[in-house]
Amino acid sequence: MAEPGQNDHESRNGDSNREAGTRKGWSEGLRRMGERLGGVAHLSRRRKWLLGGAALVGLGVVAAGGGYVSLSQDLPSVEALRAYEPDLPTTVVAGDGSILAVFQRERRVYTAYDEIPELVRHAFISAEDKTFYSHKGLDYPGIVRAVLTNIRNIGKNKRLVGASTITQQLAQAMLLGREVSYTRKLREAILAKRLEEAMPKQRILELYLNQIFLGRNSYGVGAASLAYFNKPLEALTVEEAAFLASLPKGPSLYGRPKYRAMALERRNYVLGQMLENGYITRAQYDAAVSKDIVLAQVRSRPTSRLGEYFVEEVRRTLIDVYGEDKVYGGGLWVYTTIDPDMQRAAEKAMRDGFVRYERGKAWRGPVETIALGEGWQKRLSALNVPVGYDDWRAAVVLEKQGGTATLGFEDGSTGRLPAANATRRRDGRPAFDLLKPGDVIPVSRVKDTKDTYTLQQIPLVSGGFVAVDTLTGRVLALVGGFDARRSQFNRATQAKRQPGSAFKPFVYAAALDNGFTPASVVLDEDFCVNQGGRLGVKCFRNFSGRGTGPQTLRTGLEQSRNLMTVRLANSVGMPKVADMAVRLGITDQMSPMLAMALGAGETTVMRLVTAYGILANGGKQMQPILIDRVQDRHGKTIYRSDTRKCPSCAANDWQGEGMPQVADTRKQVIDPRTAYQVVHMLEGVIERGTARRLRVLERPLAGKTGTTNNSQDVWFVGMTPDLAAGLYVGYDTPSSLGGWAQGGTVAAPIWLDFAREALKDAPKPQFTAPPGLRFVRVNRKTGQLANYDGPDVIWEAFKPGLEPRRFVALGEPQVVKSDTDFVETMGGIY
């Protein structure tokens, strides 16, 4: 048995050994666990890397997809690209087929692929994209080269270079603009790929060659060929085609003389590429590079401004219907009603009338004063002086020496103004004495001289003119003022003016519709009426200030008697007069006040002339027409003013059938007999009345003068059986033209000048009476039957039952049983 101390010692050793073994066991366990855990940890890091990598790839894909979606936003689809059409100008055509105007943002002459010469196609492919037919929209080697070049240029403040293919350039020209950025390049690449999916190479090249900007305000090769060489594409030489192909790199540079060396270098590079690509021979190359660049002069704006107010009215109408984008880029063909010869006659007559009226007025001074020295031509041109006439010019006084002033013009040429040609006075002094260098003035060249001019003055007075075809309503001429550069306000369609006595025929029409005849007698004496309320008593008077006693309606209209007209309107009733005015389109509504019978209401020249046209055509409704038809860019008619149907008009063959008949669908707005009676009375205005000066035309004419209170506006509206034309003259801010100014002295002479030119070769048809009228010989002054000849005896038109009757000896009225009986018994014509 062991001793206690020994046992305790052994016991402690045993415990120590056990603890050591335990620690060792724990250490081994921990080591083995660590090995196991280390393996697990190592495995987790690998998985983490794999998962992290996959996540990054996923995020990259998502980011790329998001970036693609973001970059693709707002880009057109493949279907939209297939339907894409470049902007084309809208062409406005006159009635004779000549081009009147062009509305455009981009000057483009669209040319189909097959119509673009192979030479031109090859030149552009050589210059811009020689692998065009092999790539799928992007030139990847070229992109790599461009990226490396841009990296090398970092910090060198150089413009980024690209490797754009023709397809990419088309994408840029179509939709993306000219921003230089990687974002735009990526969007361009996306769109280029879509373009390649959407259409064949020929279509891409066709669009490109018609879309790109090539300088001189030309878009596409068709317009550029005309702008640079004044010839069509098929007439271009090798060197000219190469020059056009050089332009995409510098469209605003290579056409200028100061950059001729750069242009020559670029053109010759293109020729070299064409040779290298096998598109031209060595002989062609040698011949082409030896030639200089010879360009056509930049064409100046046209000198003729025919029909500007008409064109502007057409433009406004088109925009209202189709919108601005379609008008300026839709390629519409607009066939208008304007007759260029008649328009020229109208414009000249109106301008001559304005100038004639102001001939005795004082000189108002220069139009403007500009600084002389370098650039004065541009400053003069920028004024865009509204000289009106094609043969008037804006000039600036360069210097004065003795009795001659030296003039300068926009093109840099000069002329001379003798003191004797500038005698219009101001404050008692001749205009020549008041001129000083820098003054801008309108002048006209003296006939049969080379550089001698006369001082002119742009009139302040203005007015409007309209001529319409009475059968169709087609507007043949329209003048809205002296010059549209001075004011776009169209006085023919927009100015609401009082027509004065030019309204009277419609008062007489209302009377004839209500039992009166041209031979009815009305008192031409003072007439006052109580208008009620605060308006009080209104007394009317004639222009002459006196009355003439009982007179026939014919005399009242021929001599424009105010008192007779008011008395007649009062008898018939102003509501009926107002209704007549509304039915004929003179106004939309009219106050039934007696002053309206004398033309105190407002209307436009267009409306009043149209109403006269209705009288001339027998009372048929008529709407003024400026546009006959509109075609889209493909030639499809999308608007036609005449909507009547006529299937047989388009028959393929004719087998002896009768002439196709087109129904007259116009509404009858006034009794045709009444319309003729008024026209017949208005013929008397020309023969014996206030427009006697027009008799020199020696043709059937009817018309009426008009003068408003204080001679603020003067009018004349005249008509033949197939033409109605009218005008007014007045200041834009109404003021007196002077007591001498009347419709017969100011407006009628303008109409005469117009008619002399516009109608000189026109037939001279008579006004045709409609069925249902009886003609009787009467004394036009008394209205009584006349069985004798004399200057006052005329054939007057009456509606049956209202004509004057003969009486037998016993005083019994002769009974008329039939039209034949009327002719035989009454001495009339049916």
* Active-site annotation, residues: 128, 501
Residue type, 522: V
| Residue 368: partners with Cβ closer than 8 Å, 6 or more residues away | 383, 385, 440
Alpha-carbon gap, residue 281 to 273, rounded angstroms: 11
Burial pattern 438-460, b for ≥16 Cβ within 10 A else e, equals: bbbbbbeebeeeeebbbbbbbbe
- The stretches of 139-179 forming alpha helices (DSSP H) are 140-152, 166-171
Distance of CA 800 to the CA centre of its chain: 50
Alpha-carbon gap, residue 314 to 279, rounded angstroms: 48
DSSP state for residue 212 in the 8-state scheme: S
Report the run of H or E that residue 638 belongs to, with start and end: strand 637-640
> Nearest CA to 738 among 359, 425, 350?
359
> Nearest CA to 387 among 347, 437, 435, 443?
443
Alpha-carbon gap, residue 310 to 481, rounded angstroms: 11
> Nearest CA to 481 among 490, 473, 468, 472?
490
| Residue 593: partners with Cβ closer than 8 Å, 6 or more residues away | 531, 574, 600
Alpha-carbon gap, residue 139 to 610, rounded angstroms: 65
Is residue 442 a contact partner of residue 456, using CB atoms and an 8 Å limit? yes
Q: What are phi and psi of 690, to 5 degrees?
A: -80, -5
- In the sheet that 723-730 helps form, which strands lie side by side, from edge to edge? 475-479, 462-469, 723-730, 713-720, 702-707
Alpha-carbon gap, residue 494 to 309, rounded angstroms: 11
Alpha-carbon gap, residue 203 to 114, rounded angstroms: 10
DSSP state for residue 36 in the 8-state scheme: H
Alpha-carbon gap, residue 474 to 469, rounded angstroms: 5
Is residue 424 a contact partner of residue 363, using CB atoms and an 8 Å limit? yes
Q: What are phi and psi of 692, to 5 degrees?
A: -60, -25
Is residue 428 a contact partner of residue 402, using CB atoms and an 8 Å limit? no
3-class secondary structure, 466: strand
Q: Which residues pair with 777 in a beta bridge?
A: 795
Is residue 802 a contact partner of residue 778, using CB atoms and an 8 Å limit? no
Which residue's structure tokens are 């006693």?
549
Residue type, 591: S
Alpha-carbon gap, residue 815 to 829, rounded angstroms: 16
**Burial class, 50, CB count within 10 angstroms (exposed 0-12 / middle 13-18 / buried 19+):** exposed
Neighbours of 788 (CB within 10 A): 9
Report the run of H or E that residue 190 belongs to, with start and end: helix 182-198
Angstrom CA distances, 195 to 122, 160, 172, 187, 390, stand at 21, 24, 12, 12, 49
Detail the DSSP E strand segments found in 711-773.
Answer: 713-720, 723-730
Distance of CA 27 to the CA centre of its chain: 101
The first and second tokens of residue 27, run together, are: 């250490």
DSSP state for residue 407 in the 8-state scheme: E
Alpha-carbon gap, residue 711 to 705, rounded angstroms: 12
